[in-house]
Amino acid sequence: MKNGTVKIEIFEALDSIYKKYKKDFNITYESWADAAWGDKSKQSRISELRRKARLRREGYEDAIGRAFSFQKCTALLNGLMKIIGRDLMSKELIKLLDKAKSSKERMLLLVMAMDEPDEAHSEMYLKRVVLKEHDK
């Protein structure tokens, strides 16, 4: 993550979960956008991210569109969790760990898969590692 942006591969991971469950849960980009932002018309953000991911795979590094921000990532993650459920979403994110291309990708997937009760404890641990904070 740099300047609040998240690698487009994380969007691709979320999109792969969307594609896997779209028939089972009758999900459309409109319903995902509605669950994510409370506005179906924002489905164009998802389409733009898919286009950006495709162009990146084709070798056009950040050629188009806005960045995949942390806020978009969080909204899309929460939207899918609302639709398919937190437990199923966590299991799917964990399955994607083997496909992650970098340690940062794996760490983001793990953080995204985390259960709510574990969030506070994990945040404390991450602060100790990253910020070198100790008990005060």
Q: Which residue has the higher pLDDT, 116 or 103?
A: 103
pTM for the structure as a whole = 0.81
Q: Is 65 left (phi over 0), alpha (psi -120 to 50) or beta?
A: left
Query: Tens digits of per-residue pLDDT, 14-71?
Result: 999 999 999 999 999 999 999 999 988 888 889 899 988 888 888 876 556 667 888 9
Give the confidence band of 87 by pLDDT, cuts at 50, 70, 90.
very high
Q: Which residue has the higher pLDDT, 61 or 135?
A: 61
Give the confidence band of 2 by pLDDT, cuts at 50, 70, 90.
low
Give the confidence band of 75 by pLDDT, cuts at 50, 70, 90.
very high
Identify the helix (H) or strand (E) that includes residue 122: helix 116-131
Considering only CA atoms, which of 110, 107, 91 is closest in space to residue 20? 91
Supply 10's token pair.
Answer: 């994380």
Q: So what's the pLDDT on residue 130?
A: 73
Beta carbons of 73 and 6 less than 8 angstroms apart:
yes
Q: Which residue has the higher pLDDT, 125 or 16?
A: 16
Supply 18's token pair.
Answer: 């969307």
Mean pLDDT to the nearest integer, 86-90:
92
Supply 67's token pair.
Answer: 């960045």
**What whole-number distance in Å separates Cα of residue 50 and Cα of residue 55?**
9
